[in-house]
Structure 1
Amino acid sequence: MTDAFQDGWAWWVIALAVGVPVLLVVLTEVIGTLVRRNNPVAGPLRLLRNWVVPAGALLALLAFAIQSPADQVWVRVVATVFGFLVILLVLSAFNVALFANAEPGSWRDRIPTIFVEIARLALVVVGLALLFSWVWGADVGGLITALGVTSIVIGLALQNAVGGVISGLLLLFEQPFKIGDWLDAAGVKGRVVEVNWRAVHIQTGAGIQIVPNSTLSGASFTNMSEPEGPYLATTPVSFSTDDPPHEVMALLLEIADALPMRLPERRASVNYSGSGAYGVSIPVTGPADAGQALSTYLSWLWYAARRRGFALDGDSTDPLAEPQRLVEAMTVIAPTLHLREEDTESLLSSAHLERFGIGETVLPAGIIPDQVKIVVSGRAILALDIDGGRIEFATAEKGDLIGQTALTRERTQAVTIAGEILTVVVIPLATVDDLIRSRPKLAAEIGESLELKRALAADTLAGLGVDRRRLLDR
């Protein structure tokens, strides 16, 4: 026994028998605490507890306790395994230290995973080469030289393909755009749906356009989603040179500002470049809303231009302007107004037809109308604008009146919008007043209709828990 302690191997046995279990228990407790806190350091410590410590203990047992010769195969095998595990532990610790808690937007956060994996593979290869050279006495210089020559030959043979991959990796690292951004690149405009090593996939609306990374890296492109903030949806429009420019510009702004896609805090802008040419810019949330905003805008503008008698795209032809259309409409509104044969002539001289596109505002809230509209075809929706939202509470169908508050000289409480393509007969207030004077029943019906709509609005607000006084204050 005395010889055992004098040789030193007994101390190693006692140290391993006591120290290794204690160290494992301590590591287990520390790992448990870190896991509960979601700390990434738990990963390297788990590798240390499960693999590195047992392998190190076995190596110490063979080399120092049993005192096996260093050139024995089992000692070298265990030393190799232990060295490999130490390399993995160091790489895992560096990975946690550099990337686990990287701040969003920093270079550590932006660096592609493939770069990290390539660097890790290179370090593992170098570490293993040094390990085999130290433990087994292997000559790795020739192997490294052969690998270098082979990589050069492969690189020259695949330079085009490798160039595309390198371009993709550089794009992934720089991150000039991300998934969901809108790009105007190489004549392709659309939303980025995928980015890989070789190419960028762009949804253009007519399919997926695949743009090679080498093309993007060698040319300029526009990221329409950066910087974040309002995006201007722009479109050119043209009118006849006979249309007064200021009146046309006022119409263009009126239609643009009524769009639900427009940012509430930003107004649209219009510029006139002469010869009947105009440019309209509509602020929207982003490029994703631009297409729908412009589509709705141009369709609403078509109807509005014909209501004003302007020649959009040089054409002011409106089928509703044909006299026969108004005569046919009189048969629709006759029951509503209790018309007699002698009333038709006066109405034909003062009334006219108008048409509205889907979603277009027929009558805004908060105004005193100076005319009354009667639905000939289509359907209108009555809604209340409350806290930035629109609450629908009634509809106006064929033969119904719109703008009855013109008769009571009160401001409208609701906004009326076209739920379908809507055609109405527009009658001046004076003409309607003349009809009411000779038809007490018409006045009563209009009053009942107005009270019914007010009751529907009040009931709708009550059902939503909104104070009825909010309606009366409008």
Structure 2
Amino acid sequence: MCARDRRVLGPSSRIARPEVAVDAHSLLLSATLIVAGALILPLLFRGWPLWGRAAWNIVALVVLTILLPRIFGSPVLPHFHVGPANVRFWEQLVDAGWWTIAARSAVGVARLVVMLETRSRETRFMSDLIAGAVYISTALVVVNFVFGVPIGGLLATSGVLAIILGLALQSTLSDVFSGIAVGIEKPYRTGDLLWVEGGVEGHVVQVNWRSTHIATGQNNIAIVPNSVMAKARLVNYTLRTTARRETITVRLDPGASPEDCMAALVAAVAASRMPLDTPAAGVSAVGLQGDGATYEISFSVASSDKLGAARTELFALVQRHLRHAGIGLAVAGQATVPRLPVPTPAELLQQSNLFGMIPDSQRNLLAEKLVEIRLGIGNTLIRQHDKPEALFLVASGTVEITSDTPGLSHVLHRMSPGGSLGAIGLITGAPYVATATALTPVRAYRLDGPAIAEAIRTSPGLATALEELALRSQAAIAEDLASHQDGELARPELFLTRMRSFLHRLSSDTPRRSA
């Protein structure tokens, strides 16, 4: 006799009254039908919504909780009848059904709460884990409390097995549960541009339970375990904003003046059109060693797609400004590097798009007529609507060319060292349609029209060279056209006509000047 069977048979209990037996059996049959309906109907009607299944289980649980105490007492601590074995087993099955329905009700409510927050795959997996834990616990309770089978040995054995499996699958389980944590927190999604500590950077193409797949810029797929992703520092460039902040490092000659280095780098940044104005790009000195001084240029772009083009533009401009400033790059392990020569006026003419095609002798003749000028920030080289009087060569710094309309100023171009400005207006005589303003301290060379006339008088072959220049360099004058109306000048025959008129005017002015 089970210890929980507290009913003791006496003389009066050996023969049960027929009406009492019928009532007990009818209640037991009703409870059996309710248990069967609660367990079977959700399997037959799989189209029920989650809340419908949870409500059905809760209703069945409430009805059974009210009904079962009239049969064998509390379902938690039952007192089964000491009658026939089949009746006792029947009652045990009904009590086990009550525990199963209670477990399904708890799982349904928990899953409903979790699913209302989010419908992600990771959330469903977590709800499945919770359901599994609840069902396993319920099974152990039924075996121990309903059927009276000791489970101490089973728990001890299962604990040892769990330890063995945990040690054997430690790495895999770590990846899986890290994937669950990453999926719930969602620091990144498929398609995000992600940087992972260790140098991995690219777009996330897949996130599964064990690893994250990242397409790198080298057209490779980096497979990073989720346990590493959970521990590593991450930078999500896509989250909240598409703007990208980047830093490039430049190591310069330690013997160069820090002021000159900063001025050249600031001018290079000012000449770049790719970075965003807000937040503004910045230059800072971050390190000094015996073999070089380290500078960082920080800038932002509108999206990661423009980052490569912005880097290329900045590096090209940095190289150009440093070369014209006579500043060399640092060489690892060398405290002294050869000083770069600052380009002479003749070399500036040679490097310019406009005058690089004429012979050296004629170019040197023009270089002798160049006059050095210096401008502070905000000073103008040429002004819109002014009459052209000279052409200019930029030796250092950055010049911004803008076209002003009522209430609006439009940036046409930003000129770096080596660029020429004003030659087209000087040749055609047309007023400037743009303004050139110094964005940084600028050093430039000025060449007036009378100086060109004097050079032609000294060497008449210069006129022929300039006329040939008009024939060959239509593409080369594109930068200078930014400060002039380009409708007619885009036609070579009209530009050549104006060039000849300009040379004829200079030639006619030369005898009068010499007289």
Normalised by the length of structure 1, the TM-score is 0.52
Amino acid paired to 2:448? A
Deviations 1:291-312 (CA, angstroms, capped at 9, x unpaired): 6543431122223333445434
Identical amino acids, percent of aligned pairs: 19
Q: CA deviation at 1:348?
A: 5.5
Alignment partner, residue 47 of structure 1:
53
Amino acid paired to 1:284? S
- Name the SS for the 1:190 alignment partner: strand
Amino acid paired to 2:293? A
Once the two structures are superposed, the pairs formed by residues 340-359 of structure 1 within 5 Å of their partners are: 346-347=365-366, 349=368
**Structure 1: tracts of 5 or more residues without a match:** 21-41, 103-107, 335-341, 353-362, 374-381, 394-399, 416-425, 457-474
Tell me if structure 2 keeps the 8 A contact 1:62–1:75: no
Q: CA deviation at 1:152?
A: 2.4
User: Aligned pair 1:88/2:110, yes or no?
Assistant: no
User: Aligned pair 1:261/2:275, yes or no?
Assistant: yes
**CA 1:345–1:232: 2 relative to 1, 3 Å:** closer
Correspondence for 1:150 among 150, 158, 161: 161
Alignment partner, residue 217 of structure 2:
205
Residues in 1 aligned to 2:300 and 2:353: alpha-carbon distance in whole angstroms:
42
Tell me if structure 1 keeps the 8 A contact 2:403–2:411: yes
Residues in 2 aligned to 1:328 and 1:384: alpha-carbon distance in whole angstroms:
22
Amino acid paired to 2:103? I
Alignment partner, residue 396 of structure 1:
none
Amino acid paired to 2:110? F
User: Aligned pair 1:281/2:287, yes or no?
Assistant: no
Q: CA deviation at 1:239?
A: 3.9
Deviations 1:333-376 (CA, angstroms, capped at 9, x unpaired): 89xxxxxxx97674364589xxxxxxxxxx99989896368xxx
Q: CA deviation at 1:111?
A: 8.4
Cα RMSD, aligned residues only:
6.5
Amino acid paired to 2:320? Y
Correspondence for 2:319 among 302, 311, 322: 302
Deviations 1:183-204 (CA, angstroms, capped at 9, x unpaired): 452x434247255554454555
User: Aligned pair 1:223/2:237, yes or no?
Assistant: no
Amino acid paired to 2:132? L
Amino acid paired to 1:311? G
**Structure 2: tracts of 5 or more residues without a match:** 1-18, 38-47, 71-83, 331-336, 372-380, 394-400, 414-419, 438-443, 457-462, 471-479, 491-515
Alignment partner, residue 130 of structure 1:
141
Aligned residues: 370
Residues in 1 aligned to 2:342 and 2:101: alpha-carbon distance in whole angstroms:
83
Residues in 2 aligned to 1:284 and 1:139: alpha-carbon distance in whole angstroms:
68
User: Aligned pair 1:371/2:383, yes or no?
Assistant: no
**CA 1:263–1:190: 2 relative to 1, 3 Å:** farther
Once the two structures are superposed, the pairs formed by residues 35-434 of structure 1 within 5 Å of their partners are: 43-48=49-54, 71=87, 84-98=100-114, 100-101=116-117, 114-131=125-142, 143-166=154-177, 180=192, 182-185=194-197, 187-191=198-202, 193=204, 196-206=208-218, 207-213=220-226, 221-225=232-236, 233-240=246-253, 243-257=256-270, 258-271=272-285, 277-284=293-300, 288=304, 293-312=310-329, 316=340, 346-347=365-366, 349=368, 371=391, 404=424, 410=432, 412=434, 428-431=446-449
Residues in 2 aligned to 1:133 and 1:430: alpha-carbon distance in whole angstroms:
107
Residues in 2 aligned to 1:166 and 1:56: alpha-carbon distance in whole angstroms:
36
**CA 1:367–1:385: 2 relative to 1, 3 Å:** closer
Which structure dedicates a bigger proportion of its chain to helix? 1
Alignment partner, residue 499 of structure 2:
none
Residues in 2 aligned to 1:388 and 1:119: alpha-carbon distance in whole angstroms:
64
Tell me if structure 2 keeps the 8 A contact 1:63–1:75: no
Normalised by the length of structure 2, the TM-score is 0.49
